[in-house]
A and B are shown apart, each in its own frame.
Chain A
């Protein structure tokens, strides 16, 4: 069974981003980039399914400009077998990414596609669900546990207030939540080996998809600052302030 795992290149989660002073976008000059943390969890789950003998081949796919090769190489160093970059300099939004991934799914026919539930830049939380809609496949979003048996998967997912378990037919689209696993690190020998693994490049035109954005970014701005309040010296003072000043208890 083939597993397709999608990886997105995003600003490293340790970087505090700021809007550009003219408000046209986020300042990404000389900022450290990395695999989106939820996508790392997706790669790890694919590796575990291969180690369990469920999967035979793992294909890491990314959509974006040439530099996304770095994140595909990272996935290859972690253990993916080969990579595909859908290369474009276009501004990409979830619906377009889902359409491009659908075209890759049509070509590769994976039984399971694993994606992060959201990327930490756009915070959209859409691409997996949209890919599931376009393929007509079942979707297991916010997954915290996956067990594959035959042509079905038992999937536990995080919902408001608890956990839900579903039985889903394969082929299947999965999006990962934090609890699914703890990703491994790539070893140096594997990082060297990854350089020799195959990485194909496709273009949106070859896949017959127009990735033009439907949503226009008007401006970006920093969030409203919250002013620091006061330090209270004692518990009595705190309770007094909450009762009489803030009037919240």
Chain B
């Protein structure tokens, strides 16, 4: 009994060490904001830009609102009533031409949205992306390491995870032989579920302990961020797991762990898959090529699955809300009427999203554990 709790205690402390690795996602966000600033902009398409100019006169643009909530931003908009805007301007950290520039993003709140030679345009092909004024293409690029909305949300959820799990670890070390109570008893079934049904059954009795910190961290990080994304007000409501950069970092971690812990049998099974006829391997190595592509696509699918599930859920919920405003713009009474049905659908979608939040965290963790199990497979002795 005592050794059981001591083992869990060690698992917790090791889990906490892995959480700071997720703070490396900010670096990847510099890549993400360039991609999202250029690619997810409807104004690129000539048909879209005409409609956009017309709709700006009308006042409510559903596509813009949804994209603004789903993509990253240099400020955190909390509230907007009429002309009163409550927002949190976040720090901007730029690295351009060998020099570091740091300032608050509220400096961009002037007429031409520019400060110190950088500008953050609000429309056009570089919307939402910090560019250097008068830059020639081919010159040094602007590397954006700002604390954006997604990064701040990652900090908040990492802080929450640390608080919860340090308190659980401490209560385990204090009540060594007593029954668990409080936060400990809330999360112990989940933790034991991950240990027994995910880790032990996929990786095996002998080697699962090494991977438990990573699996626990992945599961609770994804689960907490999914749940926080469903809460509409600060500090929730930031689309962390629906950001492909964040899920890419987690999939890369899984890929690195699988590759590093792959033993001889893992690599032999890739190049010389057992049970496959020889003519698929020898003159033209079809099977090895398929297996090597599989090594890359398995983490890639992990990334896209989580990203698409979360982003689609947010887009659907926001779409139901915009239905109310679209109908309301046509006729106020129609807006009120539609709002009954739209709110009902939205509640249903939110409940479904709660289920999807847990299932996606579970599937990501389970598949990571399966890949670790495949990497450390021992051949059966006949």
A-B interaction? no
Interfacial residues, chain B to chain A (CB-CB below 8 A)? none
